[in-house]
Amino acid sequence: MKRKQSGLRIMSRLIVLVKPLSGFMCLAVLLGVLGFLCAIQITVAGSLTLLTAAKISGGTAIKTGCVCIIIFAVLRGFLHYGEQACNHYIAFKLLALIRDKVFKAMRRLSPAKLEGKDKGNLVSVITSDIELLEVFYAHTISPICIAILTCLIMLIFIGRYSIWLSLVALAAYITVGAVIPLVSSRVNKNAGMTYRDGSGALSGFVLDSMRGLLESIRYNSTDKRLEEMDKKTDELNSLQDRLKRIEGHTGAVTDITIIFFSAAMLLTGIALCQKGIIGFDGMIVATVSMMSSFGPVAALSGLAGNLTHTLAAGERVLGILDETPVVEENRDGKTVAFDGMENEDVGFSYGDEKILDGFNMTVEPDKIISITGPSGSGKSTALKLMMRFWDVQRGSIKMSGEDIRDIKTSCLRSNQSLVSQETQLFNDSIEANIRIADYGATHERVVEAAKKASIHDFIMTLPNGYDTNVGELGDLLSDGEKQRIGLARAFLSDAPMIMLDEPTSNLDSLNEGNILCSINEAKKGRSIVLVSHRKSTSRIADRAYTVYRGRLS
């Protein structure tokens, strides 16, 4: 994933996503500005009322002042509620939109770009990192706009009394709202990304530890895993403590700066009052109004710590959205009916490792093609190339006479069904897992497919039958049972071409015989490519190939 984007670049890209909800954002800013102005006017009205009570000229009638204070206080409550409601509505709508974009991006990247990726880190990105963006959308964009507009209004208001007082206020707003946050962000420059990467790595380590808990127990290595987990956690805590200390220092500096400029405003007002440039009431109102207007800019100063994490999370999320897939999906290609596939002088390498070289194979309709060979010889890669999970680097693969790169990807995939060596199951019922191959399938068709895969009898021994939950990643089933569910999916599919990668590797000889018999029957109206390292599986094939060092014989 791309890294090292500037904070402004990340913020600008995240802000672009607000466009569909710009109306709500404008409303949130308007309500926020009005709310802060009401809060400021409470103190201004209070000070003017006190001037009257002290019998100093320039004040406001006590009754009028009390009524204004009550009105401003009530309005402040309603306006603040409306602002927060708009901000959170925007945030949660955009988080749903971003999750949708990330899932679509991961689908485009899969499988080539996601193989070998740290799954725990990816889970961290699509959960906690996206969740952190709520801080940006609900508590960053509108506060910045609100602070700028409120400060401009207050500068005009204070400037009515004296331009010198307005300049003091301007210096205060810039220092508290811009200088301090920028300095704090510079100090935290890379800490946020380091923390988010560390958090993702810890998530991956925990996920691996949970999945491999049984192995750790078998080899008495649980204590070692726990020590490593504690070490990673301590490193994260140490970094978090550093960030918190910087955040605390930033808050302290902000408070001291506010006090300093409040005193500067008061002293400037006293000097101007003594020279007769402004009245006593002007000195009091200007000082009180500036002191009470630090709320929006102080909030910006406090954002620096949150932005460290938020921008790091945003960069990680945008990194996934920016990732370019190895194979671009063809959305506007040709639509063809299946009439066999041809591999012509196919060559493919993973980096410098040559996998296939001069690979030639024809898959005819209504035929079973078997491919046998040792592990690592390129058998599984050939299937993935035919499904266009990767593009061939040399030669071509054609379906019905058309290069599969020119065929609409959805059309290509609808004509194929692949059962890989490791069947992935969802934390759902057995029937739901089989029905993935055809969501519209009836229960009767699911049962028929399960019978062909020799899994029906086992399912019926379970208390809940087809409604039995398989657990996370199918942990409640054996490898052989998971494999047969994968086969049931293939039999349920209407795809005219089925590719089976080691379909009987986890089965005993009896179930293997039953499966091979079902595969032989399934070839009616279908082409079947059967990959295995076992010679016994090739006995049902109409044509048998042996692959060695990327070549067929």
pLDDT at 550 exceeding the cut of 50: yes
The pair phi, psi for residue 338, each rounded to 5°, is -70, 130
DSSP-assigned letter for residue 127: I
**Residue range 536-552: mean pLDDT, rounded:** 75
Closest CA to 511 of 462, 430, 453: 453
Contact yes or no for 409/329 (Cβ under 8 A): yes
Question: Between vectors from CA 76 to CA 149 and to CA 66, what angle results, nearest 5°?
Answer: 115
Among the ranges given (135-144, 181-190, 436-445, 489-498), the one the predictor scored with the smallest mean pLDDT: 181-190
User: Which range has the top average pLDDT, 28-32, 251-255, 329-333, 365-369?
Assistant: 28-32
Which region, left, alpha or beta, applies to residue 162 given φ > 0 means left and ψ of -120 to 50 means alpha? beta
Among the ranges given (58-72, 344-358, 391-405, 427-441), the one the predictor scored with the smallest mean pLDDT: 58-72
pLDDT at 365 exceeding the cut of 70: yes
The predicted-structure confidence for 223-237, as pLDDT tens digits, reads as follows 888 888 888 888 888
* Mean pLDDT, all residues of the chain: 83
pLDDT at 529 exceeding the cut of 50: yes
Contact yes or no for 471/449 (Cβ under 8 A): no
CA–CA gap between residue 6 and residue 300 (Å, rounded):
19
pLDDT at 310 exceeding the cut of 80: no
Partners of 497 in the β-ladder: 416, 527
Q: Which residues contact 196 (CB under 8 A, 6 or more apart)?
A: 124, 129, 309, 312, 313, 316
- Residue 207: Cβ within 10 Å count: 17
- Residue 177: Cβ within 10 Å count: 24
**Residue 495: per-residue pLDDT:** 85
**Residue range 510-520: mean pLDDT, rounded:** 76
- Residue 275: Cβ within 10 Å count: 8
Closest CA to 83 of 21, 153, 24: 24
What band does 512 get if pLDDT is binned at 50, 70 and 90?
confident
**Residue range 460-464: mean pLDDT, rounded:** 90
CA distances from 270 to 227, 261, 283, 466 (A): 64, 14, 7, 84
- Residue 287: Cβ within 10 Å count: 24
**Residue range 99-122: mean pLDDT, rounded:** 76
> Look-up: residue for tokens 């090292």?
4
End-to-end CA gap in the chain: 41
User: Which range has the top average pLDDT, 1-5, 451-455, 520-524?
Assistant: 451-455
Radius of gyration of the chain (CA): 34
What band does 1 get if pLDDT is binned at 50, 70 and 90?
very low
The predicted-structure confidence for 20-68, as pLDDT tens digits, reads as follows 888 888 999 999 999 999 998 888 888 888 878 777 765 667 788 788 8
**Residue 549: per-residue pLDDT:** 65
Q: Which residue has the higher pLDDT, 520 or 430?
A: 430
Helix/strand/coil percent split, the chain, to 5: 65, 10, 25
| Amino acid identity for residue 230 in this structure | D
| Amino acid identity for residue 389 in this structure | F
Burial class (CB in 10 A: 0-12, 13-18, 19+), 169: buried
What band does 397 get if pLDDT is binned at 50, 70 and 90?
very high
Q: How far is CA 423 from the centre of its chain?
A: 25
Closest CA to 475 of 210, 218, 217, 216: 210
Long-range CB contacts for residues 55-59, cutoff 8 Å, separation at least 24: 56/280, 56/281, 57/279, 57/280, 57/281, 58/279, 58/280, 58/281, 58/282, 59/281
Structure token pair of residue 479: 């490898």
Partners of 531 in the β-ladder: 371, 501
Structure token pair of residue 334: 């040709």
pLDDT at 475 exceeding the cut of 80: no
List, as one string, the DSSP characters of 469-504: B--GGGTTS-HHHHHHHHHHHHHH---SEEEEESTT
The predicted-structure confidence for 180-194, as pLDDT tens digits, reads as follows 887 777 766 666 667
**Residue range 472-498: mean pLDDT, rounded:** 84
Percent over 70 (pLDDT), the chain: 92
Structure token pair of residue 373: 């060979």
**Residue 2: per-residue pLDDT:** 47
Q: Which residues contact 293 (CB under 8 A, 6 or more apart)?
A: 36, 40, 150, 151, 154, 169
User: Which range has the top average pLDDT, 71-80, 199-208, 216-225?
Assistant: 71-80
What band does 474 get if pLDDT is binned at 50, 70 and 90?
confident
Q: Which stretches of 405-528 are DSSP H helices? A: 409-414, 430-434, 443-452, 456-460, 479-492, 509-522
Q: Which residue has the higher pLDDT, 127 or 57?
A: 127
- Residue 124: Cβ within 10 Å count: 23
> Does the predicted model carry a pTM greater than 0.75?
no
**3-state SS, residue 523:** coil
Structure token pair of residue 85: 């409601």
DSSP-assigned letter for residue 293: T
Closest CA to 493 of 452, 542, 465: 452
**Residue range 106-121: mean pLDDT, rounded:** 73
**Residue 141: per-residue pLDDT:** 83
pLDDT at 523 exceeding the cut of 80: no
Q: Which residue has the higher pLDDT, 345 or 198?
A: 345
